[in-house]
Structure 1
Amino acid sequence: MNTNSFISDIQNRWHNVYWYSRILINNDKYIAIGKEPKLLSTIASSIRIVANNGSSKEETFELQKQILRHIVEERYKKTPSKYDRIQRLLNELCTEIKTPEDMEVFIITCENIMLPLYQAIANIPNDDKEFTLNIAKSYLDVRGEEGLATVISLWDDLGVKGCLTAERTEIIKAFATLRILLSNDLSLSENDKDIVLTAFVQEFERRAAQKRKKRAGGSLENVTDFILEYYKIKRAQAPSHFQADLEVDNWVKTKDGWLIGISCKRTIRERWKNVSTSVEIYNRFKVKYIFHIVTFDEDLSDDKLTILGEQRQIFYLPDNSRRLKYASEHVGLKNYVRPISQLINDIKKEIK
C-alpha cells in the first residue's frame, strides 16, 4: 500500500462507525444513549427525515445537529445530575460529526449498528441455567450421587457451549442483515463495507465478552443452588459480618446449630497465601466447615491444601482425580480432601 492510499484509508469516514458506536455506549465519560433503543431510534429517524426537506446541505446539517441536541437534552432534562456528561456527549458528537456525510454515517451507525447490536446482545442469555437445568436433573435422576461430579462438569461445559452457540446465532443473523443492507448501497466501495462490517463485529465481540465475563462468575454458583434444591437441602442465611477469604456460594445449618459454607469453583486461585480467617473466627461465627467443590484441581498444591485445610476447609474433588488419589493417600493431606460423590452424604450427616 502506497502512502497516499494509506492516508486515504485512515481518513475514510466510515471508520467513524466504530468510534460513534464507542461514544454512544460509553457510560463513564458520557451518557450511554446507545443503551436506550427507543431514544436512539427517535434520534436516527428524526435527523433522517429532515435530510429530505429540500433545504441546502449546510442548512439541513445544522438543523440535524440541533435536533440531535434537542432530543437528548429533552430526554434527560429531569436528571440534572447527568448534565455534565450529557453536554460532554453532545460536544463530542458535534466535534466528530463535521460534515453532512459524517451525519449520514452517524445515522447508519444508529440504525444499522447500534440498534441491531442492542437486540443481538439482549438475545444472548444472561446465565446458562436454561441450557443445563433439565440435563443435570436427568443425570442425577439416573445416576444419583455418583453422578454429581459429572453434573458439575456438564453444567460448566454445556452452559458455556450453549451460550456461545446463542452468541454465534445472533452475530450470524445480524451480520448477514447488515451485509445485505450494505450491498444494496451502490455508493459504498468494498473497502467501505469492510470497515463497517468489521466495526460491527468488533463492537459485538466486545459487548458479548462483557456478558460472558458476568455469566462466568455465576455459572458454578448456580450449580450449588441446583444441587441443594434437588436434594431438598434447606439453605441458611450467611453469618452476619462474616468474611471468608475464599468466596462462599451457599450455607446450610447443621443439627447442632452451626454452619457449613459451600462453594463451587473451577480452581482455587484467590490470594490463598494471605488467608487471615482463623479457626477462632470460625468458632465465633459458628462456622463448622467450608466445603469447596473444585472441578479443575491440578493447581491444588500441598501448601494450599494444608493451609486451608487446617482452617476446616474441605476440598471435594472429581472422583477420578489424580490429586484426590494422591492427597487421600498422604498422611498430611488425607483429612482435607474427599470425592465429590461423597458431598451430599456428608452434608446430610451434618444436618440430620
Structure 2
Amino acid sequence: MSQFESRPIGRTQLKVTGFGQGGAPLGGHRAPTPWPQAEAVMDFAWANGIRYYDTAPFYGYGLSEHYFGNALRKHRREDFVLSTKVGRLLRPRVTPYDPSDLWKEPLPFEPEFDYGYDGMMRSFEDSLQRLGLNKIDILLMHDLGVGDHGDSHAKHMKAAMEGGYKALSELRAAGKIGAIGLGVNEWQVCMEAMDYGDFDVFLLAGRYTLLEQEALTSFLPECQKRGTTIVIGGPFNSGILATGAKPGVHYDYKPAPQAILDKVAKIEQVCADHKVALPAAALQFPLTHPSVCSVIPGSRSVDELKRNLELFRTPIPKALWSDLKSAGLMRQDAPTP
C-alpha cells in the first residue's frame, strides 16, 4: 500500500488523504457504472492508501451513496473519512426517465432542491440509510450558486444560510458530523457563505486548477485567514486538462470554447517541453496551495484510477512551473512545489 500525506480539515480533528475518491462517476455520470466495476474501483482505492471518499445523493439519484456504503462497510469506520452532501431530497420518480439525463441508469428517483432546516435534517438521515453507515464525517451544502440557480439563487441562499446552516451547526455541535461546508462550482458563493457562518471546508469544483486561478485574488487568502480548508473537485476542468485541447472536449461541463482550447494547448506544449503529461501537472498543482487539503478527481474504472495515481506521483521539474508563469499561462502568485 502506498501511503498518502494526511492534511487537516479546517480546525477540526479530521484529516484526509491528499488524494481522494470522488463519487460522481460511480453514480453513472454520463455512462453507467455497474456494481462489480464500482466495487473494484473502491477496493483498489483502499488497497492504494486512499482514505477520503466523497459522494452525494445527486450522484445517480442515490446510486453513488449505495455503492460507497457497500464498499466502505468492509472497513473499520474510524479508518476513513467520508463526506456527502445536502440540499436535494430524492423523491420517487413520477415522470419518465430521460435517456439524455446526466446520470445513466440511476435509481428511480428524482431530486428536489430543499436547503431549509427540515430538508437538511431529512437529507442527512436519508444519506445514513442509503450508505448503511452510522456516521458521516463531513456534510456539505450542494450546488448553491448563480450558475446552478440563476435568478433563484438569492432565495435558495437565504434558505441555506438561515435554515440549512442552523441544521448543520446543530449536527456539528452534537458530534453527529465532524465538519460542515459547501460543495459548489463557484468560489464566489463560498465567499458569500463566509459572511453568514463558520464553515470548516469548501469542496470547490473546477475553480482552482492549472487552467484557472482567479480564486487567488480574494477567496483563498480569506480561507487562509480563517483556517478554512479546500477540497478540489474537478481538477481536470470537466475533462480538458485530462485529454488536452481536442475537438469536442468538455470544459465546465460544456464543450470547450476556442479561447479555452487555445490556452490549454499552450499549457500542454509547456508540459511536453518538460516531458510531463498535462494531467500530471493538473492533478498536482492544486495541492501546492496551503489551504488545499485534498484533490478528488473521481475515477470510473480501476484502469482510470491506476492512471490517475501514476500521474499524481509523476516527478515534475520546478522549471515547468516557472515556464508556465513566464509564458503568462499561470498567475505569478500561484504557489508551486
Confirm or deny a common fold (TM above 0.5): no
The structure with higher relative contact order (CA 8 Å, sep 6+) is: 2
Structure in which a larger fraction of residues adopt strand: 2
Larger radius of gyration: 1
